[in-house]
Amino acid sequence: MDIISQVINNFTSIDTISVLLIGVVAGLVIGSIPGMTSTMAIALLIPITFNMDSTNGLIMLVSVYTAGVYAGSLPGILLNTPGTPSSAATVLDGYPLMMQGEGTKAIGIATIGSVVGGLFSGVVLLFLAPILANISLLFSAPEYFLIAVFGLTIIASLSEGSVIKGLMAGTFGLLLGTVGIDLMTGVPRFTFGSVALEGGISLIPALIGFFSISQVMMLSEEKGGNKKLSEKGVKGNVLPTKNEFSEMVPSLIRSPIIGVLVGMLPGTGGDIGSWMSYNEAKRFSKNKEKFGKGSIEGLTASETGNNATTGGSIVPMVTLGIPGSAATAVLLGGIISAGLTPGHELFTKHGDVVYSMIVGFFIATILMGVIGLLSAKHISKVINVPTGIVAPLIVCFAVVGSYAINNSISDVWIMLVVGIMGYFMRKTGFPVAPIVLGLILGPIAEEGFRQSLSMTSDSIIIYYLSRPISVTLIILTVFSVIVPVYRNFKNKKDTN
Amino acid sequence: MKKLLLINLAAFLAIFLAACGNESSGAESYPNKPIELIVPYAPGGGTDLGARELEPYIEDELGVSIEIINKEGAGGWAGWTDLINANPDGYTLGYLNTPNLTTGYLNPELERGEDLDSFSYISNHVSDPLVLAVNKDDDRFETVEDFIEYAKENEVTTSSQKVGSSEHVVSLKMNEELGTNIGIVQYEGVPEIRSDLMSGDIDSSIIALNAVYNADKEAIKPLAIFSEERSEFLPDVPTMEESGYEGLNAKIYRGIGAPAGVDSEKISILEEAFKNAIQNEEHQESMKKNAGIKPEYQDSEEFRQTLEGEEEKYKEVSDLLGW
Amino acid sequence: MTIKSQTNLLVSAIVLIISIFVFISTFNINGGAAYFPFGLSILLGLLSIILMVNSLEFVKINKHYLKDNVTKRDNPFYGPSFKRALVAGLMSTVYVVLFNYVGFIISTLLFIPSFFLFMQIKGYLKYIFITLGFIIFIYIIFVTILRVFLPAGIIFD
C-alpha cells in the first residue's frame, strides 16, 4: 500500500507530468522522422536524464519509447516511408489505404492498434513479468534459429503474383544479410575492404532507402507542380466503422501476444514483432489477397505487434537485467547509471520507481493515442501537398536521418544505393517485403543455427529434439509449409 | 599611387603578422574551442557511459566543452578510422579500447594497414578484468578448481563476444596450457550471454567484471578473476594465479587517444587534464558505483606500453587463433 | 502484361550474373562462414534460371501477339518518366556528395530549389520559405535539441 501511495504521489507532481508529456511529444516527433528510431531517441535523451530525479528520467524514457514506436507509422502511411524500422510492415497496407483516400482512417487504425498493443504489453509487464521472464530464458540459439525460419516461410506467400520473384527477392535479402564480419569465425564477407560494411548493411539506412528513395524516384516520374500525393483527398473519419473494427479484431487479439513474446526475447524488437504479427495475420486471414493492397487486418497486425514489443522487452530488462530489444538495452543503461540494479531488488527496494515507470508507460501510451487520433485529420492533410514539394523533402529527411544514426556518411551511401536498387526492383515487379524479411531474419537464422552447433557436443538433431520449445517450433514450421501446399494441391484436384 | 601601394603593403604585412601571431598563440591558448571525443560504440553502452561520466571533469580541467560523438561499427574501427583521418590539431580525440583495437589491426583477414603508430596516446581511463562466472545453481562448480578439473575431463562451453575477444583468447590459452576442453560460443552481446548462462544453455561465461557486477547476484556466481590481484568489487573471489593457474591475466582497457602527429605540448596539456579528471575522487566513486568499473589512470607512455603489451600477447596466440 | 516477360528475361539474366559472381566470391571466404552465402547463391541462380525459362516460353508462345500488340511504350524502362526518375536519383546522389563536402546547410540550400525546378513547382516564394523553413527545422531538432552533428563539410573542417 505504501508503494501505491508513493506512485500516486509521483504522478501528482508537475515535474513528472511535464516529463511524461515531453517524452511523448519527443517520441512522436522523433519517431515520425524517417531515419530516427526510438532507440536513438532514448539514447539521445539519456544525458538529459542525468540531471533529473531517476524516476522522472525513466518515465520520460519509456514515454519516448512507446510514442516513438507508434509514430513511425505516420510517415509510413502518408509517405510510404517508415519512420522507424518497426513500421516497415505498416507501409505495406497503410500506404495503399492512404492512396485509396483512407489516410485518416489508416492513421486511426494504426493508432488504435498501437495503443491496444502497448496497453496489453503494459498489463503483461505489470502482472506477469517474473513468470514471463523465466519463459524468455528458455529461448536460446536453437529457438532463435527456428523462429527466424518460421518467419521466413511466409516469404512465398507474401509475393503478390509471382512466387518465383518473391522467392528471388527473399533469397536476395538473405544474401544482403550475410554482408559483414561473420560472428562465428571473424572473417569478412562481401565487405570489399570497406570498414563501413564490416558491420553489415545497416538495417535502418537500408529500410529508409528502400522505401523512401524508391518512392521519390517514382514520384518524380511525373512533373509534380500540381499533382498531389493522393488525388482522393482527405475524407472520412478517424475512427473505424463497426465493420472495419470487426476486421481489426483478430489482429488486435493475436498480435499483442506475438509482440509481447517477440519483445521478451533479447535481440528482437519492434521490427521483428511487427513482421511476425503481419505474417501470422496473413496466414490466418480469409482475405489474403487484400494484404499489400490496403488490408485493415494487416495494418492493425503490424502496428499492434510493434507496440506490444515495447512492454514485452521491458519484462526481462527489469526482472533479469536482460534487455529484450535494442531500445531497452539503452534504457537499461539509463537505469544502471541512475544507480539502480535490475532484478528482485528493483521490485522490492525500489518498487516505487519500477511501478511509477510502468504507470508512466500506460499513461504515455494512452496519451499518444489521444494525440494521434485528434491530429490524424490534420496530419493526413500532408497528402494534399504537391508531390514536387514532398519529394525533395523526403530525400533530405532520408539523408539527414541516415547520417544521424551513426554520424556516418557511409550509411547515407548505403541508403542511397539500396534506394535506387529498390526503385528498379519495384519497377520490375519484385515485392518489397521478402527482401526486408530476408535482411532482418537471415542473420538471426544463420547465427542461431551456427551458434547452436557450437553449444553442444551431441548430435545436432538430438540437441534440438531435446528442447521442448524447439520441437514445438519445428512442428509449427512444418505445418505452416505443408498446409498451404496441401490445400493448393486439393484445390487443383477439385477443379479438375 | 605610391602611398596607396605602401598602405596596401603595410596592411598586408599586418594581416600576415597577425595570422602568424595567431598560429603560435593558438598553441599557447590551447584548447580554445570545443573538443570532439569520438566514442566508437553505441550510446548507452559501457564506453559511452564512462565517457559521459568523465565529461564534466574534463570540461572543468580544460575549460572548453567536450562534444561526444558516437560512431559505432566494425567493433570500434568505424570510429577509429575517423579518428586516424582527423586533423591532428588536438581537437579530435577518441576512446581506444582493447582488445578490439589490437585484434582489429592484427587480424590478417581484415587487411588493415594501421597499427599502433597511427595514433597518439593520452591516457588510460578504466580497466576491467575478466571473470569466470557460472550459474549459481550449478552444483558441478563450487570453486574454480572444480571447473578446471571438470573441464579437463568433459567439454564445457563458455561465451565470447566476437572472435578474438579477450575471453576467446584466454579460453584458447587455458585449453592449450591446462588441457581443458572449453568450447567457445560466439555472441553478439551481453544480454544473450546472460540469458543463456541463467538458463544453463552455456556452462560458463568468461566476461568483463562490470557485466557481472551489474547483474542480479542471485543468478550468477563468479569463480575466479583473471587479474594480478583481487578486485574490490568482488573481494571474495580468488584470482586465477592464487588458485594455481598462472599466466592467464586478461583485462580490457579503455583509454583516450588522438590521431598520430599531435603536438607534444598539446598532448602534455591533455595528459595533465585527464590525469586530474580521472583521479578526481568524485569521479572515481561515481564510476565504481554506477558502472562497476575502476578508473585506472595511466599516462600516455604507460598507456602506449599497455597497448604494446596487448599486441605482444595477441601475437603469441596468433596460431591458436588461426592467424 | 506481356512486356513483363521481356523485362523478366533481362532481369533474370542480371540476377543470374550476380549469383555467379557471389558464388565465386564465396570461395574466398574461409571456413564455415562460406556455406550460407554459397547455398544462397546457388538458390538464387536456380530461381533466376527458372524465371528465365518461364519468360522464354511465354515469349516464344506469344511471339506473334507480342510483335503486333506491344509497343515500346509499354516498357517500364522507356520514355520520359523513366528518365525523370533517373534524374531524381542522380540529383539525390549529387546531394549526398555535396552533403559530405560542403555540409548540410549549403547542400540542402542547393538541392531543394533545384528539385523544385525539376518538378516544375511554381512560385518562387515557396522555394525560399520551404527551403529555409526546412533547414531551420532540421537544424533546431537535430543540432540544437538532440545534439546530433551534421556535417559542416569536409572542406570546412
pLDDT at B48: 86
pLDDT greater than 90 at residue A335: no
pLDDT greater than 50 at residue C1: no
pLDDT at C93: 95
Cross-strand bridge partners of residue B297: none
pTM, two decimal places: 0.84
CB contact under 8 A, B189 and A342: no
The shortest CB-CB distance from A220 to any of C25, C84, C146 is to: C84
CB contact under 8 A, B163 and A185: yes
CB contact under 8 A, A407 and B110: no
pLDDT tens column, A53-63: 888 889 999 99
CB contacts of A172 in chain C (<8 Å) are 15, 44
Question: Are B261 and B208 found together in one domain?
Answer: no
The shortest CB-CB distance from B157 to any of A188, A195, A455 is to: A455
CB contact under 8 A, C130 and A393: yes
CB contact under 8 A, A407 and C148: yes
Residue B22 — very low, low, confident or very high, per pLDDT cuts 50/70/90?
very low
Residues in chain C: 157
Decide if A185 touches B, using CB distance below 8 A: yes
B71 Cα to chain A: minimum distance (Å): 5
Residue B25 — very low, low, confident or very high, per pLDDT cuts 50/70/90?
very low
| Best residue of A454, A464, A466, A470 to probe chain B, by most B CBs closer than 10 Å | A454
CB contacts of C92 in chain A (<8 Å) are 213, 216, 395, 399, 416, 419
Question: Are B120 and B205 found together in one domain?
Answer: no
* Residue A150, in any domain of the structure: yes
- Every domain of chain C and the residues it spans: 3-71, 80-156
pLDDT tens column, A252-287: 999 999 999 999 888 788 888 998 899 889 888 888
Range(s) of the domain holding residue A265: 2-455
Give the CA distances from residue A418 to residues B71, B188, B208, in Å, rounded to whole numbers and listed in that order: 21, 25, 38
pLDDT at A14: 85
Q: How far apart are CA A447 and CA A455, in angstroms?
A: 12
Write the CATH number for B268: 3.40.190.150
| Portion 214-243 of A in contact with C at CB < 8 A | 216-225
CB contact under 8 A, A403 and C150: yes
pLDDT tens column, A169-199: 999 999 999 999 888 888 889 988 788 888 8
Q: Do B157 and B184 contact (CB within 8 A), yes or no?
A: yes
A338 Cα to chain B: minimum distance (Å): 7
* Residue B263, in any domain of the structure: yes
CB contact under 8 A, B109 and C30: yes
Read off the pLDDT of each residue in C109-135 and give the average, rounded to a whole number.
88
Q: How many domains does chain A have?
A: 1
| Best residue of B49, B135, B185, B218 to probe chain A, by most A CBs closer than 10 Å | B185
* Residue B17, in any domain of the structure: no
Question: Are B153 and B285 found together in one domain?
Answer: no
Question: Are B54 and B93 found together in one domain?
Answer: yes
pLDDT greater than 90 at residue B303: yes
| Best residue of B109, B162, B186 to probe chain C, by most C CBs closer than 10 Å | B109
CB contacts of B67 in chain C (<8 Å) are 147, 149
CB contact under 8 A, B202 and A455: yes
Q: How far apart are CA B97 and CA B254, in angstroms?
A: 4
| Ranges A92-101, A414-423, B227-236, C138-147: which has the least confidence | C138-147
Across chain A, mean pLDDT equals 86
pLDDT tens column, A350-388: 888 888 899 999 999 999 999 999 988 888 888 788 888
Question: Are B142 and B116 found together in one domain?
Answer: no
Cβ-based contacts under 8 A for chains A and C: 163
B109 Cα to chain C: minimum distance (Å): 9
Residue B90 Ramachandran class (φ > 0 left, ψ -120 to 50 alpha, else beta) = left
Question: Are B181 and B213 found together in one domain?
Answer: yes
Decide if A444 touches B, using CB distance below 8 A: no
pLDDT at B23: 44
pLDDT at B5: 59
CB contacts of B48 in chain C (<8 Å) are none
* Residue B300, in any domain of the structure: yes
For B93-250, where are the alpha helices, taking DSSP H only? 100-106, 144-153, 166-178, 190-199, 209-213
CB contact under 8 A, C93 and A428: no
A5 Cα to chain C: minimum distance (Å): 35
Q: How many domains does chain B have?
A: 2
Q: Give the end of a domain, one of B225, B243, B275.
A: B225
pLDDT at A330: 83
| Best residue of A455, A459, A463, A466 to probe chain B, by most B CBs closer than 10 Å | A455
Alpha carbon distance, N-terminus to C-terminus of chain C:
54
Decide if B65 touches C, using CB distance below 8 A: no
The shortest CB-CB distance from B87 to any of C30, C147, C157 is to: C157
pLDDT at A197: 86
Q: Which amino acid is at B83?
A: L
Question: Are B113 and B192 found together in one domain?
Answer: no
Question: Are B59 and B117 found together in one domain?
Answer: yes
pLDDT tens column, C63-88: 766 666 666 556 667 678 888 999 99
Read off the pLDDT of each residue in C123-129 and give the average, rounded to a whole number.
84
Highest mean pLDDT among A46-50, B105-109, B123-127: B123-127
pLDDT greater than 70 at residue B297: yes
Tell which wins on pLDDT, B249 or C37.
C37
Q: Which amino acid is at A128?
A: L
Which chains reach chain C with 3 or more Cβ–Cβ distances below 8 angstroms?
A, B
Range(s) of the domain holding residue B121: 33-127+251-321
Tell which wins on pLDDT, C107 or B289.
C107
Tell which wins on pLDDT, A135 or B55.
B55
CB contacts of C157 in chain B (<8 Å) are 87
pLDDT tens column, B156-182: 999 998 888 889 989 999 998 899 999
* Residue B20, in any domain of the structure: no
pLDDT greater than 50 at residue B21: no
B157 Cα to chain A: minimum distance (Å): 7
Highest mean pLDDT among A46-50, A130-134, A292-296: A292-296
